[in-house]
Amino acid sequence: MRFRLTLAVLTALTAACGSSGTAGSSGDPSGSGKATISYAIWDKNDQASAEKIIAAFQQANPNVTVKLEITPWDQYWTKLQTAASGGAAPDVFWMNSLNVRMYAKGGILAPLDESKTQGLTPAVVDGYRYDGKLYGLPHNVGIPALWYDKKIFDDAGVAYPTADWTWDDVKTAAKKLTDPSKKQFGILAHMWDQGAFYPTMYQAGGEVISADGKKSGFDNPASIQGLEFWTSMIQEKVAPVAEVYADTDSITLFQSGKYGMFYGGAWLAATFAANPEVAERIDLVALPKGPAKEAVILLGLANAVSAKSEHPKEAAAFAEFVASEPAQKILADAGGGALSLREGTQDGWFKAFPNFHLKETYDASLPYGVPYPVSLNTAQWQDVQNKLLAEAWAGKRPVADVAKEIAAQMNEILAKE
C-alpha cells in the first residue's frame, strides 16, 4: 500500500530533522568568554536600524553576539507572556510603559542603572519606573501632532495652522474647511488616547489619573471639557460620525484627501512619505493649546533586560548601548518610523523627511511633554474607558455621564491594585 511507503519515508525524515534541529542554547559551557544574547522587537520597519546598532555594538564588544528576533505586534505580547511564564524571556526586549509595571512586579525584569538616563527626556523615562527602580531604558519618543492637508486649506483660503494655535482656531478652521457637497470634513475625530483625547484632557486642566496613580481623573470637569472638544465637533458635523473611523482607520481616511486636519503621530512621517502623492500635500505642526495650558503626551519604547538572562552584564550593556549617543544617531539617521530620544541626536531623522516640519514640531512640543498616564494594570481600566467612551463618541450618551461612569469603575479597579 502506498500509505505504508509514505509513512516509512516520513519516519526517516522526522528522524533526520530531529538530529539537525538542535536548540540554539545561549549558554557558555566552554568558558571562552563569548556570549550570545537575544534581542526581541516587534516592528519590521526597525529591522534595518536595529541591525546597524547591533553591528556597532558587536564591534565594540567582540565577545558578544546579538541575535535579533522580530515578532509582529499582534503576537508579540502573547509570545512574551508565554516565554516569560516559562522562564525563557529574551535577554533584551522591547517594552512599553503600558506593560512595564506588570512585568517588573512579576519579577521578569532586571532593574537598570539609573545614571544611564542622563540626556533622555524625563517625561518618557518616568514611564519606566516602578517602586523607585528603573526597568527600561527608553530609546525612542513618539510625539503626537496636528497633521493638515495643505490642498484643502488652500482651496478654502484658510491659513495653515501654526504652533500657537488654540482650540478655537481648530474649531473655526474645521467649520470653514467642511463642505458637505464634496463629502469633505474639516477634521477627523477618531477616538484615540495618546494623541487626541488624553492631551485635550490635560490641555483643559484635567487629568487621566492622579499623580499617585490611585484615583481616576475622568470625573474632573476639566477632563470632561477635554473630551467634549472631540464629541462637539462630531455633533457640529465638522468631523465624520464615529462609525466612519470604525469602517476605515483614520490614517487611511486622512490620506484620501477629504479631511482637513488629523491628530496623528509624528512617527507617521515614514508611513506618509511612502505614499508620494500624499507626502507632497500634507504637513504637521505641534498640538494646539487648550484653555488651560499646552500639553502633549510623550510615549517612548524602552529596552528591558530579563531578570533570568544568562548574560545579565552583556544584556544590560546592550540595552544601555541602544540608548547611547552613537546608537541613537544610527537610529535617527535610518529615517524609519522611530525618532531617537536622546537630545541632540535627531537631526538625521528630521532631514530624512524634508517635506515635513518635523524639527519645528519637535522643538515646540518637547517643553510641554506629559508622561503617558499609567497604573499597575493600565490595560484593565483602558478597556473600560474605550468601551464607555465609544458610546459617547457614537452620540448615544452625554460625555459627562460616561466620564463619571468611567471614573467610578476605574477607581474600583485602582483600589484593587
Partner 1 sequence: MHSKREWAWGYLLIAPMALGLAVFYLWPIAQTLYLSMTESGVFGGYTWVGTANFAELFGDEEMYGTLGNTMLYSVLVLAGVPLSIVVAALLNVPGLRGLSVYRTLYFLPVVTMPAAIGLTWSYLFNGEFGAINHLLGTIGIDGPYWLGDERFAIYAIAIVGIWSSIGYNAVLFLAGLQGIPRHFYEAAEIDGAGRMRQFFSITLPLLTPTTFFVIVITMINALQVFDLVYLMVDAGSPALAGSRTIVYLFYQTGFVQNQRGMAAAIAVILLALILVLTAIQFRLQKKWVHYE
Partner 2 sequence: MSKPRTWPAHVILAAGALVMLAPFAWQLIVSLQTLPDSLRVPPKFTPSWQWSNFVDVFRSVPLGRQFLNTVVVTAAVTAGQLLLCSLAAFAFARLRFPGRGILFMAFLAVLMVPGELFLIPRYEIMTGLGWLNTLQALIAPGVFGAFGTFLLRQFFMSLPKELDEAASIDGANPWQIYWHILLPLVRPGLLALGLLTVMWSWSSLLWPLVVNTDPEMMTLSAGLASLRGQFLTNYPILFAGSIVASLPVIVLFVVMQRQLIAGIAFTGSKG
Amino acid at 85: S
Beta strand ranges found along 171-267 (DSSP E): 185-187, 259-265
Q: In the stretch 9-48, what mask flags binding to partner 2 with x, by CB under 8 A?
A: -xx-xx--xx--xxxx-------------x-x-xxxx---
> What span, in angstroms and rounded, lies between the C-alpha atoms of 305 and 283?
38
Q: In the stretch 27-66, what mask flags binding to partner 1 with x, by CB under 8 A?
A: ----------------------------------------
Interface residue with partner 2 among 108, 174, 268, 399 (CB under 8 A) is 268
CA atoms within 13 A on the CB side of 60: 13
| Contact window for partner 2 (CB under 8 A) among 108-116, 173-181, 255-263, 289-297 | 255-263
From partner 2, partner 1, none, which one binds at residue 237 (CB under 5 to 8 Å depending on kind)?
none
Nearer to partner 2, 270 or 406 (CB): 270
> What span, in angstroms and rounded, lies between the C-alpha atoms of 191 and 230?
8
> What span, in angstroms and rounded, lies between the C-alpha atoms of 206 and 386?
18
Q: By C-alpha distance, which of 181, 224, 333, 357 is closest to 282?
A: 357
Q: In the stretch 228-247, what mask flags binding to partner 1 with x, by CB under 8 A?
A: --------------xxxxxx
356 lines the binding site for partner 1 (CB under 8 A):
no
Least Å from the CB of residue 108 to partner 1: 6
For partner 2, the binding residues in 85-114 under the rule CB under 8 A are 85-88, 90
82 lines the binding site for partner 2 (CB under 8 A):
yes
The helix (run of H) or strand (run of E) holding residue 59 is helix 47-60
User: The C-alpha cell of 144 is what?
Assistant: 503626537
From partner 1, partner 2, none, which one binds at residue 122 (CB under 5 to 8 Å depending on kind)?
none
- Rounded to 10°, the helix 312-322/325-334 angle is 60
Q: In the stretch 274-313, what mask flags binding to partner 2 with x, by CB under 8 A?
A: xxxxx-----------------------------------
Is 197 in contact with 228 (CB distance < 8 Å)? Answer: no
| Contact window for partner 1 (CB under 8 A) among 19-27, 140-148, 281-289, 383-391 | 383-391
Beta-strand pair 137-138/302-305: antiparallel
395 lines the binding site for partner 2 (CB under 8 A):
no
Interface residue with partner 2 among 114, 252, 379, 387 (CB under 8 A) is 252
> What span, in angstroms and rounded, lies between the C-alpha atoms of 68 and 283?
34
Nearer to partner 1, 172 or 184 (CB): 184
88 lines the binding site for partner 1 (CB under 8 A):
no
For partner 2, the binding residues in 52-71 under the rule CB under 8 A are 67, 69-71
From partner 2, partner 1, none, which one binds at residue 131 (CB under 5 to 8 Å depending on kind)?
none
Interface residue with partner 1 among 192, 267, 321, 350 (CB under 8 A) is 192
- Rounded to 10°, the helix 221-235/378-393 angle is 40
| 299 bridge partner residues | 142
CA atoms within 13 A on the CB side of 42: 16
Least Å from the CB of residue 209 to partner 1: 16
From partner 2, partner 1, none, which one binds at residue 263 (CB under 5 to 8 Å depending on kind)?
none
Place of cell 505642526: 285
130 lines the binding site for partner 2 (CB under 8 A):
no
End-to-end CA distance of the chain: 64
413 lines the binding site for partner 2 (CB under 8 A):
no
167-176: long-range contacts, CB 8 A cutoff, minimum separation 24: 167/200, 167/203, 167/229, 167/288, 167/289, 167/290, 167/291, 169/288, 170/146, 170/261, 170/288, 171/233, 171/238, 173/260, 173/261, 174/233, 174/238, 174/239, 174/260, 174/261, 175/236, 175/238
From partner 1, partner 2, none, which one binds at residue 162 (CB under 5 to 8 Å depending on kind)?
none
Amino acid at 267: W
Nearer to partner 1, 208 or 285 (CB): 208
116 contacts: CB under 8 Å, gap ≥ 6: 137, 320, 323, 324
Contact residues: partner 1, CB under 8 A: 77-78, 81, 84-85, 102-103, 105-108, 183, 190-192, 242-249, 377, 379-380, 383, 386-387, 389-391, 393-394
Binding residues for partner 2, rule: CB under 8 A, are 1, 3, 6-7, 10-11, 13-14, 17-18, 21-24, 38, 40, 42-45, 67, 69-75, 78-79, 81-83, 85-88, 90, 251-253, 255-257, 265, 267-268, 270-271, 274-278, 337
